[in-house]
Amino acid sequence: MKTIQSLVLAAIVLGTSACASNAVKQAPAAGLSDAPSTSATLAASAVEAPPAAVAITPLSADTNASTGTAADAIASPVAASTQTTQTSANAPEAMTQAEQEAEALYATPAVRDPWEGFNRKMHSFNNVLDRFVLRPVAVGYDKITPDPVQSGVSRFFSNLRLPATAINQALQGRPGDAGQSLGRFVVNSTAGIGGVFDPAKHIGMPKPDGEDLGQTLATWGWRDSRYLVMPIMGPRTVRDALGGLGDQQLSVINQIDSSSVADKLQIMQMVDVRAQLLPTDQMRRDAIDDYTFVRDAWAQRRNRQIEQDLRGNRVD
């Protein structure tokens, strides 16, 4: 009897060790093969996947052993040992496949980038400007300005964009959404003191996503456009750069007669936007390639906005 108990105990210990070893060897490949499309999340997945796999796999093995029979418990170490041997033999192949998938991931960006050489130079220039000017100002603004005030500033500038949003919604064939955007602008500009507060939300008026002329041109058929990094303005496409010229003419700030006031508002808006992006700084630092991370993240967000516009057109 003592001999059988000793065999069972040894079998459980060996089974747990074998499964843990198997999990450690399989985890890196799984972390890479399931990686998202941005380089920062790819790195995070590769680092975080092994501990998760090690924590889950032995628990599953222990549960199966405790609920099965003694014969199952004795047989499981043999199967686990065989699986470990096979995994060890296939590990180089698995890693090679993961590396190929990673290369394929970076070889297919979310946007056409034939001017990558020029764009990388502009990206580096913008990074230097951001490091020594924009980010320090945004960090200072974030530290000294209370959160409620920051929220009010963000709502103010969001409200100023509503007329342009309404015009683009109308150009996209969405008159109902355009009317709601204009109604929200009127309510918040008056009762909300220029948009600092959001009374329209409390009376049930929906908050629209910002629309611009670049999105409008995309809904008209200009879907495939080349990626372009502009000084100070950052990621764009040729379509969005041209659309930005039209959006500038539609901007409420552009209608202000005093150029001094308009310039100060534009600078404040830039600081507000940069402060909202501060949480992404760590992801950019962790990225394998900051240029690729910014390009793909921006392009994926932009493509999602356009797809939402197209779905909105079909509904209307």
Q: What does the pLDDT read at residue 158?
A: 95
CA gap 231, 130 in Å, rounded: 11
Q: What does the pLDDT read at residue 31?
A: 36
Strand partners, 228: 236
CA-to-CA dists, residue 92 to 14, 86, 277, angstroms:
25, 11, 40
Non-local (6+) Cβ contacts of 271 within 8 A are 134, 137, 138, 141
> Which residue type, as a one-letter code, is found at position 112?
R
Non-local (6+) Cβ contacts of 262 within 8 A are 253, 254, 256
Residue 280: both structure tokens together = 């992404």
Q: What does the pLDDT read at residue 257?
A: 87
In the DSSP assignment, the letter for residue 134 is I
User: Is beta strand 227-230 parallel, antiparallel or unpaired with respect to 234-237?
Assistant: antiparallel
Q: Integer distance in angstroms from the first to the last C-alpha of the chain?
A: 77
CA-nearest of 41, 71, 58, 80 to 292 is: 41
pLDDT in tens, the chain (316 residues): 444 444 444 444 344 444 434 433 443 333 333 333 434 333 333 333 333 333 333 333 333 333 333 333 333 333 444 444 444 444 455 556 655 554 544 556 689 999 999 999 999 999 999 999 999 999 999 999 999 999 999 999 999 999 999 999 999 999 999 999 999 999 999 999 999 999 999 999 988 888 999 999 999 999 999 999 999 999 999 999 999 999 998 899 989 989 999 999 999 999 999 999 999 999 999 999 999 999 999 999 999 999 988 886 543 3
CA gap 297, 40 in Å, rounded: 10
Residue 14: both structure tokens together = 């060996």
Predicted TM-score of the model (pTM): 0.64
CA gap 161, 244 in Å, rounded: 13
